[in-house]
Amino acid sequence: MRPVIIAANWKMNTTPADAGELARTIAGRTREADVVRVICPPSVCLAAVRDAVVGEGIGVGAQNVHHELAGAYTGEVSAPMLAGLATWVILGHSERRRDAGETDALIGRKLGRAVEAGLRPILCVGELLDEREAGRAVDVVRAQLAGALAGHDPDTLRAAGLVIAYEPVWAIGTGRTASGADASAMADAIRAALRDAGWGSAADDVPVLYGGSATSGNIAEFLAEPAIDGALVGGASLKPDEMAGMVGRAAITAAARRAADA
């Protein structure tokens, strides 16, 4: 039975002065035992969020990690530096692919660092609008996966709890979403790609999240799809009411899965 996960990507929002209070408010409004909750604040806010959610069972994640362990990389944060601050990490977000020129191969190296450091990776994939319109969405996502996962042992990644977030780039921050059916079809394609890459039936255990303008108002469409295991949420994740609505809906799916599994 796969978990149901709601992961908050706060992006470049909040400060160390206000992140703790926001995290505490969200924690208090989202206490659903069966839902895996993760908050990924800016790196300078990790300590504040960690301290704010002690005892809440909420995972704290970084939004990126460097592909080297240490050295002359001004402004960067390495995986070992996150020890004690984060237990999750987002990798390959489309904004980093776009703004920092991250390639699939580089993201693959980050993935290795994350796993070595015991961080649970959320690997982001997703196509651009013109790629979808050209009918190439699945090919693009397959290539992103192949590039990032190349050379990684499936058993190691599975043990690290690898999560894939399908985030169509045209849906991020636009108010436009994929349909539940399209997201589900992509989740199937992602697991098929993993099977083809040597994962075998372990591909079925990998959680696949949807991301891109997810809100409390549309999350049900995604959580109704058995192939989708939750959401990676940007804008709406900064709003406690929205988080309460999304985690509340996720709890319904989690309970249904538990009942079906019993």
Binding site for ligand PGA (CB under 6 A): 9, 167, 172-173, 211-214, 232-236
Residue listed under structure tokens 């992103």: 144
CB of 40 to ligand PGA, least distance (A): 9
Cβ neighbours for 60, distance < 8 A, ≥ 6 positions apart: 38, 39, 40, 41, 46, 49, 50, 53, 85, 86, 87, 88
**What is the 3-class SS of 41-95, one letter each residue?**
CCHHHHHHHHHHCCCCCCEEEECCCCCCCCCCCCCCCCCHHHCCCCCEEEECCHH
Q: Per-residue DSSP letters for 141-162?
A: HHHHHHHHHTT--HHHHHHTT-
CB of 177 to ligand PGA, least distance (A): 8
Annotated catalytic residue 93: yes
Nearest-CB residue for ligand PGA: 234
With respect to ligand PGA, which residue has the nearer C-beta, 156 or 174?
174
**In this structure, is the dihedral angle defined by the CA atoms of residues 201, 260, 209 and 41, taken in order, positive or negative?**
negative
CB of 232 to ligand PGA, least distance (A): 5
Catalytic annotation, pick one of 32, 66, 67, 93: 93
Annotated catalytic residue 167: yes
With respect to ligand PGA, which residue has the nearer C-beta, 59 or 212?
212
With respect to ligand PGA, which residue has the nearer C-beta, 14 or 213?
213
* Cα first-last separation, the chain: 10
CB of 233 to ligand PGA, least distance (A): 5
Catalytic annotation, pick one of 32, 131, 167, 225: 167
With respect to ligand PGA, which residue has the nearer C-beta, 87 or 216?
216
**Which residues are identified as catalytic?**
93, 167
